[in-house]
Chains A and B, each alone.
Chain A
Amino acid sequence: MTKCTEDNKPIMVGDRTIPPPDARYITISIMGQPYEVPETLTILKAMEFVGYQFKRGCGCRGGICGACGTFYRIEGDHTLQTGLACQTVVEPGMILAQIPFFPSNRASELDLETKMPADQQIATMYPEIFRCVGCGTCTRTCPMDIDVMGYIAHFKRGDIMGGAEQSFDCIMCGLCAARCPANISQFNVAMTARRIASARLTPKSEVTAARAEQVRSGRYEPMLAELCALSGEELKKLYVEREREPDLAKPGEWMPADQTHL
């Protein structure tokens, strides 16, 4: 490793893979077809390296969008493994198939105004949760390490808030539903539960509602028009002189000296 010099510009090829000169190559099997790929790549980049241009099965490339759920086995090992293609590094003998889409059940109507108790609402929309056999395959399948069976158990017990919180990291890739022997589409149940828990079981933010009402009354339009009409210098002066809320101020306790524009 040497210092780079001025004529030694960095290699800038965006997201294309550049294997190091001494890269070791391994054989993986993409849907049954063998390819040689550099051993350090993720499944996603290995597939691009051999020439795939994704339409399905590729999204944020950072583990948060759920587009690239993948099942794989390692040759000679009977266990079925799962991962996100953008987050899982290839291994020798890997036999993989992406599941970019899986048929799922989403109950059609979500009524957030209903008077029905939240647990009943979930039970009515998704009665199949009571068919859960507790096998735990969903939990073992989840690439986000969520206790999927655990949150379904919360819903069965009527603890909608608990299950909602436990499912928060869900990226809705659908791999849990692909493996469920009880035909539950867990990720859709959780989506519905999180919305019910947030809209119906969590207190509303009164501060936000009060401010929104002030906005609707047109209170801030003249103030903003006033700012839009200022010269650049006047605006800079206001910017530089504005008070900064202290980092450690408790919510609702600190108030600025200038309260004419609140």
Chain B
Amino acid sequence: MSEGYTPEMLDLIKKVEESRPQRLSESRAGKAFPAMSMDARDVVLNAFHPDYTEEGRRALGIGPNKDEVYPEELVDLLESRSLLEAVNPDLSTPDYETDVLVIGGGGGGSAAALSAAGEGLDVILATKLRHGDSNTVMAEGGIQGADQEPDSPYFHYLDVIGGGHFTNERSLVAAMTNDAPLIIEWLESLGMMFDKHPDGRMKARHGGGTSRKRMHSAGDMTGAEIMRVLRDETRNRKDKIKILEFSPAVELLMDENGRCAGAVLNNMETGAYYTVKAKTTVIATGGTGRLHYRGFACTNHYGATGDGLVMAYRAGAKLGYMDSVQYHPTGTAYPEQNVGLLVTEKVRGLGGQLLNIDGEQFVFPLEPRDVESAAIIRECVGNGNGVKTPTGRLGVWLDSPLIDELHGPGTVQRELPAKYIQFKRFGIDIAKVPMLVYPTLHYQNGGIAINDQSESTIPGLYAAGETTGGVHGHNRLMGNSLLDILVFGRRAGQSAAKAIAGGVEVGAASLAHLAEYGKALSDAGLDRGAVSPMILPNYATDEIRSRRWDVKSPTV
């Protein structure tokens, strides 16, 4: 089945088929396309990786991270005014008061809420969409944790920091790897359906860059299983945890001593704003894939618009590692309906090769993710050897039929069931014809700077998960994001409890920092009339946009 491709594309696929017998015999003989030297890696990264090139990046002109160079779309959001700057709401009587306000309802926020509730605190969890809507549900492969006999947090630490090019915040790596076995045990106790051996032992596998088998999984939907279990458990704690859905936080409240005092929520369905005064606040709002840096497609959830970064930055929190983004080498480039969706690394692990428009290999298939992505961009944009789709996107072939040739008929369907169905739905049998792929925005390595107790640089403000930066350095290994969110989510809840037990004084809540930020923006000549946070992505056509006569801000 290949009717999903255009006749022109089917013609080009013939070239892939022509070169396949030769490539197959080479693969069988163990001959692979040569991997790059360290120098060659540097060359391609410097010339073509979006993190290394100047295009599409500029220096941030304001705030604690002034002069650091970030993707422009992020700088645009940070150099925007608040939705609430010109408003002077009465903040003297908050609508809600609580011990802990958790902003964000993914895995990190849910873990924070559960751990705070476990310490006896009252929690409000406010989230933009439904409880559980997050990148957590989209994590397929697994969660790392050094629980097997030949392993320990010591070796997990080494793998994490080597994978991150030795740039990681070391205290965070220590915290994450130390707690990992506790997280696996906790999830098991909550009734997560881990892949197990009959005697109860966890199935543990290798992942990219691991020295020991410590990847734990629940089928190929590990994140979705973690999320539905945590959400269900949160619903068991109604006594302590109040959930507010479709109620994104839009700004933090601050007191006169520079302490975070809670947040302003917006009920998206009624448009009404509500204030939450909280002794402690946890930001767990996730990543920024939906900002589509430089127009890249992304693998992220609809809600990944970086709202937490914006409000924390306006309140004076320091960010870290924000220049670093993980592009996954193989996002879908065709059909248009699947654009950006992840094509797992497993395809290349099984022997799938990347090919240009002439059906030729141009890169070793299992370079580190950043190198592999840069090589694909070079082949398409630099060398002009990409395949163009009917909508003007570019891609290279990922020769999946080779997998069946290598390992026997039926392998593709058995090993990649979700991908097989996803393409078959659009008339493409990936066991018979190759996929077209291009790098896609996958993960935000940077974020709000925290310490190993999940404390940000603002008193009373904690953060956990993809919205933070440092633990993965400049490159994250598979299976460490599901771990990261739970470790630092739980630590945030525990830190909040410790702080409250020690006595917390929250002064009068204020939004004065918004006007200060707006003034600094004007003084720096950076006011473009834009407002943020973004809250929801906007995928309307130009035609529709031009008809929205009353919408002025370029970022909303």
Binding site for B on A (CB under 8 A): 1-6, 8-20, 22, 40-42, 45, 48-51, 53-56, 58-65, 67, 87, 89, 106, 108-110, 112, 164, 168-169, 171-172, 191-192, 194-200, 202-209, 211-212, 214-216, 220-221, 223-225, 227-228, 232, 235-236, 238-239, 242-245, 247, 249, 251-252, 254-256, 261-262
List 12 contacting pairs A-B, 8 Å CB cutoff, sorted by A: A4-B388, A14-B296, A14-B537, A40-B426, A42-B337, A168-B219, A172-B228, A194-B191, A209-B185, A212-B181, A227-B170, A247-B206
Bound Cα distance from A204 to B190, whole angstroms: 12
Bound Cα distance from A251 to B132, whole angstroms: 33
14 additional A-B pairs beyond A18-B392, A198-B193, A224-B153, beta carbons within 8 Å, are A3-B385, A10-B386, A11-B393, A14-B297, A45-B337, A54-B536, A55-B268, A61-B301, A89-B426, A205-B196, A208-B181, A220-B154, A236-B166, A251-B201
> Do B536 and A55 touch across chains, with their CB atoms under 8 A apart?
yes
| Chain A residues closer than 8 Å to B335, beta-carbon distance | 40
> Do B337 and A55 touch across chains, with their CB atoms under 8 A apart?
no
Knowing A19-B391, A208-B188, the reply to whether A53 touches B339 (Cβ < 8 A) is no
> Do A198 and B228 touch across chains, with their CB atoms under 8 A apart?
no
> Do A208 and B202 touch across chains, with their CB atoms under 8 A apart?
yes
Bound Cα distance from A63 to B133, whole angstroms: 12
Is the C-beta of B179 less than 8 angstroms from some C-beta in chain A?
A: yes
Is the C-beta of B53 less than 8 angstroms from some C-beta in chain A?
A: no
> Do B236 and A245 touch across chains, with their CB atoms under 8 A apart?
no
B526-545 CB contact bits vs A (8 Å, 1 = yes)? 00000000001111110010
Is the C-beta of B84 less than 8 angstroms from some C-beta in chain A?
A: no
Interface centre among A6, A239, A249 (most CB of B within 10 A): A239
Is the C-beta of B344 less than 8 angstroms from some C-beta in chain A?
A: no
Binding site for A on B (CB under 8 A): 6, 8-9, 11-12, 129-130, 132-133, 137-138, 145-155, 157-159, 161-162, 166, 170-171, 174, 177-179, 181-182, 184-185, 188-194, 196-204, 206, 211-213, 219, 221, 224, 228-229, 232, 235-236, 238, 246, 268-269, 290, 292, 294-299, 301-303, 335-337, 339-342, 357, 380-382, 384-388, 390-394, 422, 425-426, 438, 536-541, 544, 547
> Do A49 and B541 touch across chains, with their CB atoms under 8 A apart?
yes
| Chain A residues closer than 8 Å to B158, beta-carbon distance | 227, 235, 238-239, 242
Knowing A55-B246, A191-B228, the reply to whether A256 touches B150 (Cβ < 8 A) is yes
> Do B154 and A223 touch across chains, with their CB atoms under 8 A apart?
yes
Min CB–CB distance A41 → chain B (angstroms) = 6
> Do A245 and B211 touch across chains, with their CB atoms under 8 A apart?
yes
> Do B292 and A243 touch across chains, with their CB atoms under 8 A apart?
no
> Do B384 and A51 touch across chains, with their CB atoms under 8 A apart?
no
With both beta carbons as reference points, the residue of chain B lying nearest to A259 in the complex is identified as B150
> Do A18 and B391 touch across chains, with their CB atoms under 8 A apart?
yes
> Do A171 and B179 touch across chains, with their CB atoms under 8 A apart?
no
| Chain B residues closer than 8 Å to A172, beta-carbon distance | 228
With both beta carbons as reference points, the residue of chain B lying nearest to A100 in the complex is identified as B130
Bound Cα distance from A133 to B523, whole angstroms: 70
| Chain A residues closer than 8 Å to B170, beta-carbon distance | 227-228
Bound Cα distance from A254 to B194, whole angstroms: 22
> Do B147 and A205 touch across chains, with their CB atoms under 8 A apart?
yes
With both beta carbons as reference points, the residue of chain B lying nearest to A2 in the complex is identified as B388
Tell me the number of A-to-B contacts counted with CB atoms below 8 Å.
306
Q: In the complex, which of the residues A2, A64, A106, A198 contacts B221, with contact meaning CB atoms closer than 8 Å? A: A64
Bound Cα distance from A223 to B212, whole angstroms: 17
Bound Cα distance from A9 to B336, whole angstroms: 18
| Chain B residues closer than 8 Å to A41, beta-carbon distance | 336-337
Bound Cα distance from A64 to B224, whole angstroms: 7
> Do A225 and B174 touch across chains, with their CB atoms under 8 A apart?
yes
Bound Cα distance from A9 to B166, whole angstroms: 34
Q: In the complex, which of the residues A16, A109, A242 contacts B155, with contact meaning CB atoms closer than 8 Å? A: A242
Knowing A16-B539, A56-B246, A87-B425, the reply to whether A212 touches B147 (Cβ < 8 A) is yes
With both beta carbons as reference points, the residue of chain B lying nearest to A187 in the complex is identified as B228
| Chain A residues closer than 8 Å to B229, beta-carbon distance | 195
Bound Cα distance from A236 to B166, whole angstroms: 8
Bound Cα distance from A22 to B8, whole angstroms: 14
> Do B201 and A65 touch across chains, with their CB atoms under 8 A apart?
no
> Do A53 and B541 touch across chains, with their CB atoms under 8 A apart?
no
Min CB–CB distance B105 → chain A (angstroms) = 12
Knowing A4-B384, A17-B336, A51-B544, the reply to whether A64 touches B155 (Cβ < 8 A) is no
Bound Cα distance from A254 to B342, whole angstroms: 34
> Do B295 and A12 touch across chains, with their CB atoms under 8 A apart?
yes
Min CB–CB distance B106 → chain A (angstroms) = 11
Bound Cα distance from A89 to B255, whole angstroms: 51
Interface centre among B146, B197, B301, B387 (most CB of A within 10 A): B301
| Chain A residues closer than 8 Å to B295, beta-carbon distance | 11-14
Bound Cα distance from A212 to B137, whole angstroms: 26
> Do A164 and B212 touch across chains, with their CB atoms under 8 A apart?
no
> Do A195 and B191 touch across chains, with their CB atoms under 8 A apart?
yes
> Do B246 and A252 touch across chains, with their CB atoms under 8 A apart?
no
Min CB–CB distance B542 → chain A (angstroms) = 9
With both beta carbons as reference points, the residue of chain A lying nearest to B301 in the complex is identified as A60
> Do B425 and A18 touch across chains, with their CB atoms under 8 A apart?
no
> Do B384 and A8 touch across chains, with their CB atoms under 8 A apart?
yes
Min CB–CB distance A218 → chain B (angstroms) = 9
Q: In the complex, which of the residues A5, A9, A16, A61 contacts B541, with contact meaning CB atoms closer than 8 Å? A: A16
| Chain B residues closer than 8 Å to A20, beta-carbon distance | 390-391
| Chain B residues closer than 8 Å to A18, beta-carbon distance | 336, 391-392
> Do B537 and A15 touch across chains, with their CB atoms under 8 A apart?
yes
| Chain B residues closer than 8 Å to A249, beta-carbon distance | 213
| Chain B residues closer than 8 Å to A12, beta-carbon distance | 292, 294-296, 393
> Do A40 and B337 touch across chains, with their CB atoms under 8 A apart?
yes
Bound Cα distance from A18 to B336, whole angstroms: 8
| Chain B residues closer than 8 Å to A209, beta-carbon distance | 185
With both beta carbons as reference points, the residue of chain A lying nearest to B180 in the complex is identified as A215
With both beta carbons as reference points, the residue of chain B lying nearest to A239 in the complex is identified as B162
> Do A207 and B201 touch across chains, with their CB atoms under 8 A apart?
yes
> Do A112 and B211 touch across chains, with their CB atoms under 8 A apart?
no
Q: In the complex, which of the residues A13, A40, A60 contacts B137, with contact meaning CB atoms closer than 8 Å? A: A60
| Chain A residues closer than 8 Å to B202, beta-carbon distance | 205, 207-208
Min CB–CB distance B46 → chain A (angstroms) = 18
> Do A17 and B541 touch across chains, with their CB atoms under 8 A apart?
yes
Interface centre among A194, A197, A212 (most CB of B within 10 A): A212
| Chain B residues closer than 8 Å to A106, beta-carbon distance | 235
Q: In the complex, which of the residues A192, A194, A215, A252 contacts B182, with contact meaning CB atoms closer than 8 Å? A: A215
> Do A65 and B301 touch across chains, with their CB atoms under 8 A apart?
yes
Bound Cα distance from A216 to B186, whole angstroms: 13
Interface centre among A16, A202, A262 (most CB of B within 10 A): A16
| Chain A residues closer than 8 Å to B188, beta-carbon distance | 198-199, 204-205, 208
> Do A64 and B138 touch across chains, with their CB atoms under 8 A apart?
yes
| Chain B residues closer than 8 Å to A112, beta-carbon distance | 189-191
> Do A206 and B201 touch across chains, with their CB atoms under 8 A apart?
yes
Knowing A10-B392, A10-B438, the reply to whether A254 touches B150 (Cβ < 8 A) is yes
